[in-house]
Amino acid sequence: MFRSMLVRSSSSAKQAVIRRSFSSGSVPERKVAILGAAGGIGQPLALLMKLNPLVSSLSLYDIANTPGVAADVGHINTRSEVVGYMGDENLAKALEGADLVIIPAGVPRKPGMTRDDLFNINAGIVKNLCSAIAKYCPHALINMISNPVNSTVPIAAEIFKKAGMYDEKKLFGVTTLDVVRARTFYAGKANVPVAEVNVPVIGGHAGVTILPLFSQATPQANLSGDVLTALTKRTQDGGTEVVEAKAGKGSATLSMAYAGALFADACLKGLNGVPDVIECSYVQSTITELPFFASKVRLGKNGVEEVLDLGPLSDFEKEGLEALKPELKSSIEKGVMFANQ
């Protein structure tokens, strides 16, 4: 429903979608909190979540400028009430009663910045926010966007464990942007309508750890090995492509907000009991020897209802899977070590 709202141009169609969601009194009240709501991802994400008819209460939090974002977004004539919270002293109010917490907080990657540079800043921010979540809304679903996701999700898990509040079914690393990019790039090369394309993406959420499974793409197209190799590389380097194109003026904020909104919508549908909601996400997993791994998961009332197996891989994908494991393992260990310092 949400995806159709984003892509349909007809305002009457949009209004019909919204009316349908209201007319059945069966849509539950759902509070969504966005931590980092005044940032480059947070603002467009707040806008997109305001458009989602499944949200009844939208809580926007940041260390500065949130009241203005909330006032602006709050004027949009959709269902949810919007409140902006600013500063550490208001974090508890922002979180209390939340069903879903989305975390885009932290600094974006700039040209020349390594993922280690990102880690050194964002890891501390994530650690503090997750300590507050464990205290004020421990049963909420967590959607982690703050990079490097390969490490921030393990950090969050360790913080929740320390608080005695860890539920592996409720912690998600948002890797949807990798799927969005894979779909877009594949559709362009396969010359098929992008709206009909699906491509699972497994592994992690940085560089070589991102592995799109083009052998499982639908609809199937007969692309050469060279094309598939190039598509894989472009999907892995999508973030860098945007950082360089923006020439120091930002990172992938708009496409990330879109992908974050898609995944949050899937989580809300799962919470509301919609059957067969399947998305790729970076979660605690036993489908490889690594403790966290991105793959297809079935979403439901408890968060992760089922982690689906990887399915058949091409020889190229099998090689890619083995190649990504050492780097992903290192990123996970780095997060765990930081959380336990």
Residues 6+ apart with CB under 8 A from 125: 105, 106, 146
75 is catalytic: no
Residue 52 annotated as lining a ligand binding site: no
The beta strand positions in 50-122, using DSSP E, are 57-62, 81-86, 100-103
Residue 39 annotated as lining a ligand binding site: yes
Residue 42 annotated as lining a ligand binding site: yes
Which among 30, 127, 183, 205 is annotated as catalytic? 205
Residue 40 annotated as lining a ligand binding site: yes
Spatial distance between the Cα atoms of 173 and 144, rounded to a whole number of angstroms: 5
Residue 311 annotated as lining a ligand binding site: no
SS3 59: strand
Q: Are 147 and 122 in contact (CB under 8 A)?
A: yes
Residue 259 annotated as lining a ligand binding site: no
Residue 30 annotated as lining a ligand binding site: no
Number of helices (H), then strands (E), in the chain: 12, 11
Closest alpha carbon to 147 in 251, 65, 286: 251
Residue 147 annotated as lining a ligand binding site: yes
Backbone angles phi, psi at 296, to 5 degrees: -70, 135
Instruction: For the chain, give the number of residues.
Output: 341
Name the DSSP letter for residue 111.
T
Residue 146 annotated as lining a ligand binding site: yes
Residue 36 annotated as lining a ligand binding site: yes
The beta strand positions in 19-149, using DSSP E, are 31-35, 57-62, 81-86, 100-103, 141-144
Report, in this order, helix, strand and coil percent for the chain, each rounded to 5. 50, 15, 35
The structure tokens listed for 145 are 């966007």
Spatial distance between the Cα atoms of 250 and 71, rounded to a whole number of angstroms: 24
Residue 37 annotated as lining a ligand binding site: yes
Q: Determine how β-strand 57-62 pairs with β-strand 81-86.
A: parallel
Spatial distance between the Cα atoms of 85 and 334, rounded to a whole number of angstroms: 32
SS3 34: strand
Residue 122 annotated as lining a ligand binding site: yes
Spatial distance between the Cα atoms of 267 and 170, rounded to a whole number of angstroms: 10
Q: What angle do CA 26, 28, 32 make, to 5 degrees?
A: 150
**Binding site for NAD(+): residue ranges?**
36-42, 62, 122, 145-147, 256
**Binding site for substrate: residue ranges?**
109, 115, 147, 181
Catalytic amino acids? Answer: 205
**Binding site: residue ranges?**
36-42, 62, 109, 115, 122, 145-147, 181, 256
